[in-house]
Structure 1
């Protein structure tokens, strides 16, 4: 084997080892790996022939292919959504990482088919290095160590051969400048310093190889050692693993939901498997309900915090009842790893089904299970989404039982102007029953105040500051203001934190719910029918998820 063949062999082996690492890490699929192998074989056969691509043609091919990678990004996103929701894959990896892997492999393939100068070989080595780094971020398998060692061996040999190739060309160029045959007596006598320089350059090769080895180990191994701790590759998780999650605990300070709404990270996917009867306007994914207001925060009272733990070997947990099974809407939730034990569902939840160790339901019908900040949770929810008709609710005299008194309590230092405002709103609307009074206050807040994520309301009484000074805020302030105004009129109410439906993906048949879809609203208690009815005083600007289609029009 001559030196040129050896150099090409080590170079191709380095590229192949990097691609193998990417394949083992799950960055590319089997068919794409086979296609790249065929490209490598073809490139090897074409080396030194006129059929290799010129530099200009290779550049045109790369530029012309860029729109295809945008299409790849769009198609890959839909494919991952469908496979993820249907259970074909256990994790929905990052679309951007997958497309990046495709792009890197494509660039490598084009460069292999091109006529290569030293800079092209160097570009191939650089691409292979980034492939290994990407593989380290994706990998959770010890097999990656084997491919890493293989790559290091190939890369070390390639760097040595590459430097020797450059040194040989440099000596040949010097010989040519002498304008005498390389084997002449004059050449053998005169240019000894040139030969010494050649040998000195060759002696640098171990240092160059050692430097490359240290660089790869320092950069790649930390990725591999850190990533498996989360039971998923650091890049494969696509940023999932939400920490510092706020707004869904037993004590929620005004403003926490607003912080969530500033983040577009995916929180969960929801697929409606069976709709049941026609849903009420504004169907939402209910999380926690809070009954006690301190003036600056909502929390669960001692009565509300009482809970019942349900366990089931079959994974079916009944938490409520329904008069008609045809009213049930079935939803499947794909909840991403997040540091909250809350389970979400459309109100009113009747049953939960899934591989859950237990389900805990509190006095406000909020559900929890064990925390799942390192794993995805999939479960079904059966909800009776019907509400009593307005005619029935208007006839309710609101004779509350003693336990409902906690839904009427207000802080002792509440601003008296809030009660006066509520009374004026109700009187101007001509509302003569609890239902119409609630609708009047809801409409007043929705039409008279502006929606904003800026947290401007504050001071000792944030509600009064919102109503009489700032006059703008996000959903928490609207919901809190309505609940407080209702309580001043003797109407039992509580605040609920959850999510808007989210963005509907027609291809996947599911909603993508992001943290920015977090929302607060009000539930009003009607004792005659023992029902909690949803009211949402937030203006339309704060109740709109991203563009939706299909069933979203009903939601």
Structure 2
């Protein structure tokens, strides 16, 4: 195959790979199916047996249509999402231009255009995706693009020389194309040059990546949502009691988290699930029938500068046991940072500042990129008067803020605190009477006008147990007439629904008797990955629960009214060998995000310190410990995975199948090498070997027939000498061997073709030899 023809194939492959990468980054499988099919068909239409490019006027009309489509996408985008719409629209535009160029008549100018457009499309895809799969595709694309560009240089040079030769020739039509290179092994020279250039480019890219990491104050609004305009599925900063989740949600990972206590990883498969709170919703709108965060609460949001060493949100007594979570938020579809209730410390070198609200303790990011790494800590046991100390601590960090001066006004806080997260607006009298009757059964009661009572904690537990024991959990919410409130229907009629209704029902009953209660949305962390030692939280793990203020000295506490068994069943990870493979893949993607996507100044410093430590010789003891840890990891790997008997059986069968495949492949390679030696083709270029091997297959058939009857040709003996030796021993029997060997020499060294006459003679000689060998054996 000529290098020029190879360039056309690689250019076509580069365009298709770019289309696949962009559609995957934009999460648009429909576009991948349509554009990929149309693009793949271009090779047959233009390069097939009867291939003809489209007329120029057709491609011009198509280009105008692509421009129109881009304008429609740009101006049809929703407000506030324009940056993503622009990237996606430009990506679609470049994609259709490439497809049009594939169908058109291509000179070097068109090839240059299509290659440049393909690179621009990959840049757009890189803006949209931080997936490890896309990273692998991008690496393959870079290798393919490098080879294609080098071949394009050969082609353009060859075309220029051919053009000059035709201009100087007396008969331009007889001018032949020059060879790109001269000398034996030029293909290996080209491959060596490609590898060398690729390694140099990789070294430069890695050096630039390490030396110039993502800045601490990076703000990339384009990655704030995905390319299709959807915010992150599952979690929401609003809860509609009328809508139904309808399904368990997607399996796409949202975040990874490790939990530490006293610098020890306390995660595990057999531990109870963790609740990671995101949004605290204190207002119920009886018109929209949805929970949201009130404007008065939003007014108490503060902006806190975040130095590299982190910020203490509240001072804790000395030696207070705390839990620390290291969170990798894979892709941000909102500004919420997930944490446990009552955070005391936050640190992230990826953020220059965080938003914090001392009223509902919600953490938000103000300048986050698509992937985010942060650390948050909280006390094991709730601290007394912690909300008041939050306000004092925040004041020391943001004393120059107007919002802070308002927050420090004690009268403002007193009036706000009494009304915050209280009162139920829908059929309050009915809900209050219903709640008081339930409490009376347990010997409890509460004055709805009182802000706090000594029995608030016991009341909250009674209400929580009431929902856990007397209501049915379902993945779908019941249908409710438009004139009815879903929470009221849930409490008095249906008594079944999803976690949003359970949380709404508990909050409604608690607020109807004067307690402060808010609905919290976040995630359940229950899927533990033993390979990496962290929890994987997916979109399907979204959950809603309630926080209730149980009084001074006890502060806000978490209460989950959803039946624990149903919650565990819904969020239980899948088991079996597929889960093991998923854990390995998740860990690889987790390492990709932490090491590449979220690479920042802190990560860079760790890399540079490691390099310096290695150059200086390191510590021999540390090296021994490192090897010991690796050995312990592989030793304990079966215990980490805890596979059942069926999973181990399946895994064993897979390993055996892989071993058989590798052995079979090795055998094929050995046989192929032996056949090349027998045909004396080892010194030829690989491209010529294939064609000659096919044409000389008859000679291998002859050798197989002879070997079955005990006649082996030594590796040192030439084919002609072997045939002559057999003929001298028995001319009548082995004359066909001499004839077949002569044809072998004609094709192998005489460059003759395997025409019809030679095929007939070969068939006749093989039959004659077979009959002679059979008669001899008989």
Q: Which band: TM-score by shorter chain?
A: 0.5 to 0.7
Pairing 1:141-220 to 2, within 5 Å after superposition? 210=105
8 Å CA contact 1:133–1:219 kept in 2: the answer is no
CA drift of 1:541 comes to: 1.8
Contact 1:247 1:257 in 2 (8 A): no
Q: Secondary structure at 2:515's aligned position in 1?
A: coil
Which of 524, 547, 553 is equivalent to 2:573? 547
Q: 1:344 — aligned with what?
A: 338
* Counterparts of residues 137-536 of structure 1 (less than 5 Å): 210=105, 224-229=119-124, 231-232=126-127, 236=131, 241-242=225-226, 243-245=230-232, 251-254=238-241, 258=245, 261-274=248-261, 282-295=273-286, 296-305=289-298, 306-314=300-308, 316-354=310-348, 355-362=350-357, 363-370=359-366, 372=368, 375-387=370-382, 403-407=416-420, 409-414=422-427, 416-431=429-444, 433-456=455-478, 458=480, 459-536=483-560
TM-superposed CA distance for 1:254, in Å, is: 2.8
Q: CA deviation at 1:386?
A: 1.9
Q: CA deviation at 1:341?
A: 0.7
Deviations 1:495-549 (A, max 9, x none): 1111111421110111111111111111111233142111100123235423399
Contact 2:315–2:344, Cα closer than 8 Å, also in 1 = yes
Residues of 1 paired with 2:441 and 2:310: CA distance? 49
Structure 1 residues 231 and 131: CA distance shift in structure 2, 3 A: closer
Q: Name the CA distance, whole Å, in 1 between partners of 2:532 and 2:281.
A: 34
Query: Secondary structure, in 3 states, of the residue corresponding to 1:321?
Result: coil
Counterpart residue number, 1:38: none
Contact (CA 8 Å) 1:317, 1:359: kept in 2 or not? Answer: no
* Larger RCO: 1 or 2 (CA < 8 Å, sep 6+): 1
Displacement after TM superposition at 1:331 (Å): 1.0
What CA deviation, in whole Å up to 9, does each residue of 1:37-87 have, x standing for no partner?
Answer: xxxxxxxxxxxxxxxxxxxxxxxxxxxxxxxxxxxxxxxxxxxxxxxxxxx
Q: Within 2, Cα distance between the matches of 1:256 and 1:453?
A: 12
- Equivalent position of 2:164 in the other structure: none
- Change in CA separation of 1:358 and 1:212 when aligned onto 2, cut-off 3 Å: same
Contact 1:316 1:353 in 2 (8 A): yes
Mapped to 1, the partners of 2:419 and 2:640 lie a distance apart of 37
The structural deviation recorded for 1:221 is 7.3
TM superposition shift of 1:443:
1.2
2: CA distance, partners of 1:136 / 1:480: 41
**CA 1:428–1:129 in structure 2 vs 1: closer, same or farther (change >3 Å)?**
same
**Larger Rg belongs to:** 2
Classify the secondary structure of the residue corresponding to 2:457. Answer: helix
On the 8 A contact 2:238/2:291 being kept in 1, the answer is yes
* Partner secondary structure for residue 524 of structure 1: strand
Query: In the aligned structure 1, how far is the partner of 2:103 from the partner of 2:285?
Result: 67
Distance 1:217 1:500, change over 3 A: farther
Cα distance between partner residues in 1 of 2:440 and 2:108: 80
In 1, the alpha carbon distance for the partners of 2:444 and 2:490 equals 24
Distance in 1, matches of 2:475 and 2:107, equals 50
- Structure 1 alignment gaps of length 5 or more: 1-6, 19-124, 141-154, 165-206, 390-399
**How far does residue 437 in structure 1 lie from its aligned partner after superposition?**
1.8
Q: Quick check: which one's helix share is greater?
A: 2
Shift of 1:345: 0.9
Change in Cα spacing, 1:235 to 1:303, as seen in structure 2 (3 Å) is: closer
Aligned pair in 2 of structure 1 residues 218, 515: CA closer, same or farther (>3 Å)? farther
Q: Rate the CA distance shift 1:299–1:208 in 2: closer, same or farther, 3 A.
A: closer
Q: Please, what TM-score do these two structures have when normalized by structure 1?
A: 0.56
Partners of 1:414 and 1:215 lie apart in 2 by 71
Asked whether the equivalents of residues 257 and 327 of structure 2 are also in contact (C-alpha less than 8 Å), the reply is yes
